[in-house]
Structure 1
Amino acid sequence: EFGRYASGDILEPLDNYIDMKSEDVQDFIAPVLRLYNKDGKQLALPHFAATQLLYYRADLFEKAGIKQ
């Protein structure tokens, strides 16, 4: 949805309303924040972002003969 709104040039940039260097905005994950930036203007703020991680025991993989 955001892409459609952004390309339709109907969104008002938030830059005039919020300080993009403020501590509150800097708490956002930078790559996620950039998803809502077009031509250097912040058009929206992320509502939700999730980071998925996978941990594994390399020693068990090596023992089983599985290489990275």
Structure 2
Amino acid sequence: MDFFVSYTAADRGWAEWVAWQLEAAGHVVVLQGWDFTAGANFVYEMHRAAMVAARTVAVVSRPT
């Protein structure tokens, strides 16, 4: 896995855009909204993705 894109609900749209761009460039991306299964342990999945991915991209915006 090349990238783990981490985000909060407020930044989901931007995170998906970033993930689409990375995938279009040929990278393997993990995005929680696409790859974490329902009922999975969220904390474990976040930890696993961050440990396995070569890079983590944190999508952060200013509070509104």
The TM-score bracket by the shorter chain reads: under 0.3
Q: Please, what TM-score do these two structures have when normalized by structure 2?
A: 0.24
Larger radius of gyration, structure 1 or 2?
Answer: 1
Q: Please, what TM-score do these two structures have when normalized by structure 1?
A: 0.24
- More contact order relative to length (CA 8 Å, sep ≥ 6): 2
Q: Which has the higher helix share?
A: 2
Q: Which has the higher strand share?
A: 2
